[in-house]
Chains A and B, each alone.
Chain A
Amino acid sequence: MLIVGAALLLPTAVPDDLALPSYDIADVFGSAVIEKARRYERFLYADWVLTEITLLVVLWIYSRKGVAFMRESAAGPIGTGMLLGMLGLAIVWLVQLPFRVAAHWWDRRYDVTDLDYLSWVFQDWGLLAGEFTSICLALLIVMGLARWLGDHWWLPGAAVFVAIGALFSFVAPYLDFGATKPLDDPVLTEAAAQYERDYGLAHIPLRVQEVSADTDQANAFAYGLGPSRRVVLWDTLLYEPFTQGEQKVVLAHELAHHSSEHLPKGIGWFAIFAIPGAWILMRTTRRRGGMGRAEAVPLALLVVAVLQLAASPAQNWISRRMEAEADWKALEVTRDPASLEMLMVNFSRTSLGDPDPPGWTQLFLGTHPTLADRVAMAHAWNEPAGH
């Protein structure tokens, strides 16, 4: 059933026989930009590797020793499980702190972010609070179901997580709390309306998030389901060096995500990963008495971390397919490959993204096709056979 589901979700609008032409990336991106981006990213890759190793080592130790923290709880099994879950994350957070500080220092050194250290610390604490809340909710569901259904919790458990994922996808745009404002640009709004007609979409609100005070990086994203669908542009995209043509490509790309139902498909993919993931979790925690017992929580954290790392190549591959489809559809409606190409060049300049990163980084971190591949797709579309 999972295989059938995956087969249904895999097809995209990108022609199956599309061959990306080769070209000299230095001609497009410039040697200096490539060199700077590589220097910048090399450090972050090393930092990521160390962070992941630390995560696994710390969780491995915690899976063996973490049970000792049960003496710090006067709560029942689920409450104690929550405490152990939070403490596991807290230890990981503490141990990874130097790597995060180093990454932030590096970003500031390369002017990728202007966020001062104090604001960064508060942001980091805020993220930790969010993680604590999430893990408590997750453990409440898993442990509650495991205590009720025993080893059979994994199927309804996975279903509940998928439902929560879907619910969160739906409500997230309504939890904006003033972080975005409507896009006030008649030309872009009109272009977006045209793309919506081309895609056969109902009207989707366009919003702008102000981030330029903290960073020069450019980004945009599509989120929401059904009536809550939105497209958000970072305000950094609306200024130099990005041209109106490039901004239109971004809009067309994000609307293509909605047109191709990538968010519902993402939830479908999540289900495909969550079901076997929950089953593996159930099996591996059996020797600690199952997920109904607090003793199993430290081991469960390790198992989930390993599963996430193991699944990331496949998840990134799926994400890259979706992004490639959105690029292709954007080319179809804008018919402006030159702007897509310049957009990628400017992304490389402002975000210091390596146009052609090492293969292993794409495997574990590449949620989008490389900038070089995206430019190659623009070239491919421009060729007579491309469209």
Chain B
Amino acid sequence: MPAERPIRLVVRDDDLRRSRLTVFFRLFLAIPPLIWLTLWGIAAFVVAFLLWLAILIEGKAPEILHDFVAGYVRYAVHVYGYVLLAADPYPWFRGRPGYPVDVEIDPPERQSRWTAFFRLVLALPALLLAAALGGGFYWGSTSSSWGTAGGEEDVLWSAGSSAAGVAAIAAFFAWFVALVRGHAPRGLRDLIAYAIGYSAQTGGYLLLLTGRYPTSDPVLAQPFADLPEHPVRIVVTDELKRSRLTVFFRLFLAIPHFVWLALWSIATFFAAIAAWVAALLIGRVPTVLHRFLAAYVRYATHVFAYVYLVGRKFPGFTGRAGSYGVDVEIDPPTRQSRWKTFFRLFLAIPALIIEGALGGVLFVVAFLTWWYALVRGRVPEGLRNLGASCLRYSAQTYAYVFLLTGRYPYASPVLAGRKPIAEQLAVPLPEPLPGDAF
């Protein structure tokens, strides 16, 4: 699927090493590129308006204008790849292809005049999701677009939500890890790159580089993202069809589950304390407690999959393994480090914060899916898979909190691991062109 998209994220660099010095001062170092990006964004907005007129008249964008805006989108990807620690080299100021986190954009294609005419409105759902993902595209471009469309408050809103999105939060934690260990955590890097990729698609759509609507399917990240073995895994066997009636009343239909989940949560609280004490004493969680807590995590995942429209069917009340189309597999109990067990709640704080941010994404996914499913009677696969990915992280986080595993939650958005592609590794950066001073 990624190869078919007219705007594709390319991660050329599997090197996660980061210079501690540049990481520490990353935001300050990024000031010049950000200023340049803003100026370029203003120009790109003006050119995008010309593109809009050209497409309305001729049905296709002139190549020169297209390339100018495409260069801007590419440069935004580079800058945000740098700012959000998805890449380490300082980005060039010309947005040339070849940066470790890059984007490929197809030449101009014919576009529907109707969708071009209403582009700003049509892009709103994608902008909403991009804001929740916080890929950072908006600082330079759409903030000015929004400013024109909706006034100054919208600019602030767009920028603010971008800063508080999942990518920004992931970058915040990646910053600490990179400072301490000298390399970025793989899962967080993949998540950030995915968010940047989605934002690039959205920006490209908004700025009329393509008529293809952005897809949020995490499969886009599959060429570069890893999914290592983890004791807590999500299994999606659900179909995409949805009953409009159950979609319309979804929140209300979940009321009995909310009640049951609240009651079960009380018991889980005490069970988790017991599991914590037991794990400190004997080095592992007793099987009976492990089974109880695992059922709770599974049940909560079933319920939230249903509420957020990721799952189709009304779930059962027992959290039985294999009983739901969006299910969680949890491995049996194993020995765990007593130190990590003792400090589990503190250790889980970063994961809980990221899980909260992904909860925001899940909310947006559900909101958009709700409308889509009411009209079409099915859910978009991309949104469904993104929702499943968020649920996977949530399940892993709570499994970690409840001591079902000692493995930290893995933030990569993909639902399936990539096949090793040797040629993708260690691609050298292209040499600067003569006269390429910046």
Q: Which of B241-276 contact A (CB under 8 A)?
A: 243, 245-246, 248-249, 252-253, 255-256, 259
Q: Interface size class for chain B?
A: 20 to 34
Instruction: For the complex formed, measure the closest distance between the CB of A288 and the CB atoms of chain B, giving whole angstroms.
Output: 19
Q: By the criterion CB–CB under 8 Å, are A75 and B255 in contact? A: no
Beta-carbon contact of B252 and A129 below 8 Å:
yes
Q: Is A74 an interface residue (CB 8 A)?
A: yes
Residue of B whose beta carbon sits closest to that of A128: B252
Q: Is the CB of A74 within 8 A of B255?
A: no
Interface string of B313-339 (1 = CB under 8 A from A): 111111000011100000000000000
The answer to whether B312 has its CB under 8 Å from any CB of chain A is: yes
B245 A87 Cβ-Cβ under 8 A: yes
Contact pattern, A 47-89, Cβ under 8 Å of B = 1, otherwise 0: 0000000000000000000000101111110011011001100
Residues of A within 8 A of B316 (CB): 74-76, 79
CB distance from A39 to the nearest CB of B (A): 36
Contact with A along B280-304 (1 / 0, CB 8 A): 0000000000000000000000100
Out of A80, A82, A91, A140, which one reaches B245, CB within 8 Å? A91
* B314 with A132: CB separation less than 8 A: no
B255 touches A87 (CB 8 A): no
Chain B residues with Cβ below 8 Å from A73 are 313-314
Determine whether the beta carbon of B313 is less than 8 Å from that of A90.
no
Q: Considering the chains assembled together, what is the distance between the CA atoms of A140 and B257 in angstroms?
A: 13
Task: Quote the shortest CB–CB distance from B174 to chain A (angstroms).
Answer: 38
In the complex, what distance in Å separates the CA atom of A87 from the CA atom of B245? 8
**Residue pair B255, A133 in contact (C-beta under 8 Å):** yes
A121-146 interface with B by 8 A CB criterion: 128-129, 132-133, 136, 140
Pairwise interchain contact B255-A72, C-beta atoms closer than 8 A? no
CA distance A47 to B249 in the complex (A): 25
Main secondary structure of the interface of A (DSSP, over half): helix
Closest B-chain residue to A74, C-beta based? B313
Interface contact B259-A79, CB-CB below 8 Å: no
Cβ-defined contact, A72 with B246, below 8 A: yes
Q: Whole-angstrom distance between the alpha carbons of A79 and B323 in the complex? A: 13
Q: Is the CB of A74 within 8 A of B325?
A: yes
User: Do residues A132 and B255 form an inter-chain contact, with CB atoms below 8 A?
Assistant: yes
Contact A74 B323 (CB under 8 A): yes
A74, A76, A86: the one within 8 Å of B249 (CB)? A86
Interface 1/0 per residue, B199-220 and A, CB below 8 Å: 0000000000000000000000
CA distance A82 to B257 in the complex (A): 11
Q: For B312, list chain A residues within 8 Å (CB).
A: 72
Q: Which of B243, B248, B314, B325 contacts A75 (CB 8 A)?
A: B314
Closest to B311 in A: A74
User: A residues within 8 A CB of B246?
Assistant: 69, 72, 87
Q: Which B residues from 320 to 363 make CB contacts under 8 A with A?
A: 323-325
Contact B243 A82 (CB under 8 A): no
A75, A83, A140: which has the most chain B beta carbons within 10 Å? A75
Known interface pairs A82-B256, A132-B255, A136-B256; A75-B315 also in contact (CB < 8 Å): yes
User: B325 contacts which chain A residues (CB < 8 A)?
Assistant: 74
On chain A, the residues within 8 Å of B259 by CB distance are 133, 136
Alpha-carbon distance A133/B312, docked complex (angstroms) = 21
CA distance A140 to B255 in the complex (A): 13
Q: List, in ascending order, chain B residues with CB within 8 A of A69's CB.
A: 243, 245-246
How long is the Cα–Cα vector from A90 to B247 in the complex, in angstroms?
A: 11
Q: A132 — which chain B residues lie within 8 A by C-beta?
A: 252-253, 255-256
Please state if A72 and B313 are interface contacts (CB–CB under 8 Å). Answer: yes
- CB proximity of A33 to chain B, nearest CB, Å: 41
Which residues from A are CB-within-8-Å of B302?
A: 74
A10-44 CB contact bits vs B (8 Å, 1 = yes)?
A: 00000000000000000000000000000000000
From B317, which residue of chain A is reached at the shortest CB distance? A79
A73 vs B245: C-alpha distance when bound (angstroms): 13
B315 and A74 contact, CB distance less than 8 A: yes
In the complex, how many angstroms separate the beta carbon of B261 from the nearest chain A beta carbon? 13
A128 to B318, CA, bound (A): 26
Are the C-beta atoms of B245 and A76 separated by less than 8 Å? Answer: no
- Among B249, B317, B323, the residue within 8 A (CB) of A87 is B249
**CB-nearest residue of chain A relative to B258?**
A133
**Which interface residue of A74, A91, A136 has the most chain B CB atoms within 10 A?**
A74
Tell me the bound Cα distance from A133 to B262 in angstroms: 14
Interface hits, B405-425 → A, CB 8 Å: none
Q: Give the Cβ gap from A125 to chain B, nearest Cβ, in Å.
A: 8
Report the minimum CB–CB distance from B373 to chain A (whole Å): 13
Contacts of A90 in B (CB 8 A): 245, 248-249, 252-253
Q: Cβ of A129 and Cβ of B255 under 8 Å apart?
A: yes
Cβ–Cβ < 8 Å partners of A76 in chain B: 316-318
Which residues of chain B have C-beta atoms less than 8 A from A83's C-beta? 253, 314
Query: A84 to chain B: closest CB distance in Å?
Result: 9
Q: Look across to chain B and name the residue whose beta carbon is closest to the beta carbon of A133.
A: B255
- Tell me the complex Cα distance, A361–B75, Å: 74
- B326's nearest neighbour on chain A, judged by CB, is A74
When C-beta atoms are compared, the residue in chain A nearest to B251 turns out to be A129
Chain A positions within 8 Å of B248 at CB level: 90, 94
A346-B312 Cα distance, complex, nearest whole Å: 54
Residues in chain A near residue B324, CB distance under 8 A:
74
Residue from B248, B255, B314, B324 having most chain A Cβ neighbours under 10 A = B314
Give Cα A80 to B317, complex, Å: 10
Question: Contacts of B313 on A, CB cut-off 8 Å?
Answer: 71-75
Tell me the minimal C-beta distance from A142 to chain B in angstroms.
14
Shortest beta-carbon distance from A69 to chain B in Å? 7
Q: Across the interface, which residues of B come within 8 angstroms of A80, CB to CB?
A: 314
How many angstroms from the CA of A80 to the CA of B253 in the assembled complex? 11
B245 contacts across to A, CB distance below 8 A: 69, 87, 90-91
- Which residue of chain A lies nearest to B315 when distances are taken between CB atoms in the complex? A74
Question: In the complex, which residue of chain B has the Cβ closest to the Cβ of A87?
Answer: B245
Report the separation of the CA atoms of residues A69 and B259 in the bound assembly, to the nearest whole angstrom. 22
Q: Are A136 and B314 in contact (CB under 8 A)?
A: no
Q: Which residue of A lies closest to B243 (CB)?
A: A72
Cα A86 to Cα B325 with chains together (Å): 21
Closest A residue to B313 by CB, please name it: A74
| Complex alpha-carbon distance, A109 and B324, angstroms | 50
**Smallest Cβ-Cβ distance to A140: which chain B residue:** B256
Cα–Cα, bound, A133→B314 (Å): 16
Q: How far is the CB of A238 from chain B (nearest CB, A)?
A: 37
Q: List, in ascending order, chain B residues with CB within 8 A of A86's CB.
A: 249, 252-253, 255
19 contacts between A and B (CB under 8 A): A69-B245, A69-B246, A72-B314, A74-B313, A74-B315, A74-B325, A75-B315, A75-B317, A79-B314, A83-B253, A86-B252, A87-B249, A87-B253, A90-B252, A90-B253, A94-B248, A128-B252, A132-B252, A136-B259
Question: What would 15 more interface pairs be, CB under 8 Å, given A75-B315, A83-B253?
Answer: A71-B313, A72-B246, A72-B312, A73-B313, A73-B314, A74-B314, A74-B325, A76-B318, A79-B315, A83-B314, A132-B255, A133-B255, A133-B256, A136-B255, A140-B256
